[in-house]
Amino acid sequence: MIYDASLDELLQKVWTGGRIDAAEAKRLYTLPLEELGALADRRRQLAKTPDFDGRGNEIVTYIVDRNINYTNVCNVYCKFCAFYRTEKEADAYVITLPELDKKIEETLACGGTQMLIQGGHHPKLTKQWYLDLLSHVKNKFPGFNIHGFSPSEFIHFREVFNEPLETLIQDFVKAGLGSIPGGGGEILVDRVRQRIAPLKAMSDDWLEVMDVAHRLGLASSATMMFGHVETVEDRIEHLERLRAQQDKSKGFTAFIAWTFQAEHTKLRAPTVGAHEYLRMQALSRIYLDNFKNVQSSWVTQGLEIGQVALKYGANDLGSIMLEENVVSQAGATFRMTVPDMHRLIQDLGLEPRQRNNWYQLVN
């Protein structure tokens, strides 16, 4: 084997926490998986400041919450989605407040601290319907965080309600919104988005919502759904756009990547497996040097790979998912309990701790 001094220099840069560019990321992508994983684990340790009584690198966090989908009616017809329905379909629904209350009460009984509420782009729900829902939850369940409405939904609201993003987000916050999930990110490359969801928010729209939200003091997560029609270069461009936005607005609390789940969807694309998932999560941890937290996606990969991902750059297992409807409709039906979380984390010699949406420890 011919010695390559430039590769040694790149590996040393990654090991010591240096920022890499797209060309370097492409080069790292070709490393043996175990070597890339070791670099990502090193970057996990460098990224995690000792927020938790000086034991930041020994703790793996998780959250107890519930994914609630307020409607499955949607008029953007994403090819990768098996969840959406048209208004006329028999199983189309819009949640009622009593149904929502029951779900929240069950979540609180399990020690939950928030709900992640998202839905389809319903063409007929009014702005007041959303504000009433938020106010109802805030007044009836004070202290319970509403982590809701992805950037794609806010772009839908902007178009339907004909109001500026800043006004919409401010009004939603006044009514009770606490933070914004990173759903709808998919791949932030318009050529890809035009192929998989041409009626949905494009890349600049998605990032604009996050920029406005961060400027208004809202935290959000960031995501990537990969393994369909995109290239490796597209994935790296996605990471670059997230990193640039984080440099600017500093409001992303975490990054979550998951693989496309094909069952029952209209998108005809070859899916990727656990090996590729771990490779991209590791590369994401290295590239996103301004993100403290990376979540493992056990929901799409299963509990065992979710655990392995904790050695490939992740420091968080995400939610126990008391309810999940979208990914399960596409074929992934893994389930997790708090004891499962503790076992998976402790098996690696790490300490499990419950957190809230802002990565503050609970109890």
pLDDT given at position 56? 67
Note the pLDDT tens digit of each residue in 123-153.
888 999 999 999 999 999 999 999 999 999 9
Residue 221 lies inside a defined structural domain of this protein: yes
Residue 344 falls inside a structural domain: yes
> Is residue 334 pLDDT above 60, yes or no?
no
Domain contains 84: yes
CA distance 281 to 168: 33
In a domain, 308, yes or no: yes
The pLDDT of residue 297: 86
Q: pLDDT over 90 for what percent of the chain?
A: 67
Q: Work out how many domains the chain is built from and give that number.
A: 1
Does 359 map to a domain?
A: no
13 found inside a domain: no
Length of the chain measured in residues:
363
* Structure token digits, residue 85: 């329905």
At residue 292's C-alpha, the angle toward residues 187 and 20, to 5°, is 65
Give the range of the structural domain holding residue 106, as residue numbers without chain letter.
Answer: 21-354
pLDDT at 330: 39
Residue type, 56: G
Task: Judge whether 72 and 119 are in contact, CB under 8 Å.
Answer: yes
Q: What pLDDT is stored for residue 91 in this prediction?
A: 72
Residue 7 three-state SS: helix
The amino acid sitting at 127 is K
Q: Is the pLDDT of residue 326 over 50?
A: no
Place of tokens 């819009």: 94
CATH number for position 311:
3.20.20.70
Task: Note whether residue 181 is domain-resident.
Answer: yes
pLDDT over 90 (residue 38): yes
Q: Nearest CA to 325 among 124, 85, 147, 111?
A: 85
What separation in angstroms does the CA of 165 have from each of 172, 297, 310?
Answer: 10, 30, 36
Mean pLDDT over 9-20 rounds to 97
User: Is residue 361 included in any domain, yes or no?
Assistant: no
pLDDT per residue as tens digits for the range 187-219: 999 999 999 888 888 999 999 999 999 999 999
How far apart are alpha carbons 172 and 170 in whole angstroms? 5
Query: Would you place residue 328 in the very low, low, confident or very high pLDDT band (cuts 50, 70, 90)?
Result: very low
What is the pLDDT, as a whole number, of residue 52? Answer: 64
Q: Considering only CA atoms, which of 175, 152, 139, 144 is closest in space to residue 65?
A: 144
Q: Helix and strand tally (H, E) in the chain?
A: 15, 9
